[in-house]
Structure 1
Amino acid sequence: MSATPVRTVARNRSVRYFVSRVLFTVVITFVGLAFALPMVWLVLAPFDATPTLSLEWPDWTLDNFTRLAENPYALRSIGNSLLLGVGTMLIVIVLGALAAYAMSRIRIPGRDGILYGLLLLSSIVTGTAAMVPTFQIITQLGLINNYVGVLLVLAGGILPTVIFILKDFMDSIPKSYEESARLYGAGPFRILRDVVAPIARPGLAFIAIWTIVQVWSNFLVPFILLRSPDLQPAAVLMYTFYTESGQADLRLISTFALLFSLPVLVIYFVVNRRFGFRFHGGIKS
């Protein structure tokens, strides 16, 4: 084969590679803009005297925050969301860690089938599909307009996925650590608390963040089960921000949306700085 065809093939490959990289860069740029523009609107609109759905340079003002502070339920609803998020997170971490540890260390017949069945059912039977029987159960228990009922429903929907994830972390922890602890007389709960939990901290941190995010943005469950405006979380209260003419009040919605997103971002960065999310299985890398 002569040198000319070889150079032609090499040149064609270089041209195709260059074109593919240019097209890839253009597509990624458009995708990045599609995600970035709403974030820019979220930051700028609360400081605009007359915000619209279009992205434009704001007429700077702080009156929107003053109006929001005058709403008797706005700041309280963020506290309600924190209460639901932290409460659900604690229930899920404690019960999920106990169940995952038992699933990891005890040879239960059909264990994998049970795990996959729970995960499948929790994915298919979503909150919307199960809302009618859930409402009937909570009504029979007398927990309507009660945080206990909301916490039970939220935690029950999240637990199967949490157990499935944490079991992988528990499986990756060497059993020799536990055997050494047993030699010093440690029981199962102390081993879980002092040996397994510290090693699985990155996984527990991920579960904590993931649970709070799931609860923070949940609208349907508290909307159905909570009747009093004093108890409603932020995701439900935002639904009530309308003007007297029935139009969405963008001044309140944009300002409240900014405040609504800040707690989750702060929690994420704090936990990420403390634990990090660079891990493989249950062992942090």
Structure 2
Amino acid sequence: MIPAGFEYHRPADLASAVGILRAHGDEARVVAGGHSLIPMMKLRMAELGHLIDLQAIGELKGIEIDEGRVTLGAMTTQHELIAHEGLARAIPLLREAALQIADPQVRYMGTVGGNVANGDPGNDMPGLMQCLDARFELYGAEGTRQVAAREFYEAAYFTARADDEILTRILLPIPPAGTGYAYAKQKRKIGDYATAAAAVLIGEGLSSVAMTNLSDTPVWSEEAGTALAGGDIEGCVEAMLAAIDPQEDMRGPIAFKRHVAAVILRRAIDSALSRRA
């Protein structure tokens, strides 16, 4: 289908982009890679008068690795996450997850910022960012602020980002050396959302577990991480099953989804334990 008519903007800096957002309010939306918004526009599920393309804003791009921290520009593509060897050494979980997103064609255009910013419960990166204890940097008319990934998601497609704010950077602590990691995912076919996916970190003083597409937000469970830190794998699984809230849809009934969630989480834990130094 063909989307309704709109005015296209391609600002060169963040201030201009935020200015357009404020000027047009609900009629304006930003677009990064376009894999979420453009299909909705084609189906007339989203109609807007102004589309703000962020591709020309250089400050939204790039990968920086400092002592103890990684900073990702919001317009960094999934392919760039996969190809960056320094990032793969610092946080290998990012590469493992990015390789399971859709297909290479999508990953060349899809951005990490777009994946985390729109609050789609089926996207892979939101749960992963919660597992990694990431922080999101937001820029708007009132300046810059940071929000923890674990506090960012409020409901399906609703987040802590204000309408006139743009997600600019993602800040991630580098896990200690020897931390085991895994991202396991079950999906019906290439390019589909997960029926269930699990991100797991297991290390000295650090155990973290998050799951995807099993509620209207990504699910990070402190109780599951605590159980895992104590070596109680079944306690971890039980805590996560208590935290999720799957709904019946084309991927299966609730009982099936809960079964898949348990299987995928155990696989991720086993893989993370095997990688722990």
TM-score under structure 2 length normalisation: 0.20
- Structure possessing the higher radius of gyration over alpha carbons: 1
More strand per residue: 2
Q: When the two structures are superposed, what TM-score results if normalisation uses the length of structure 1?
A: 0.20
Q: Comparing both structures, which one devotes a greater share of its residues to helix?
A: 1
Q: Which has the higher contact order (CA 8 A, sep 6+)?
A: 1
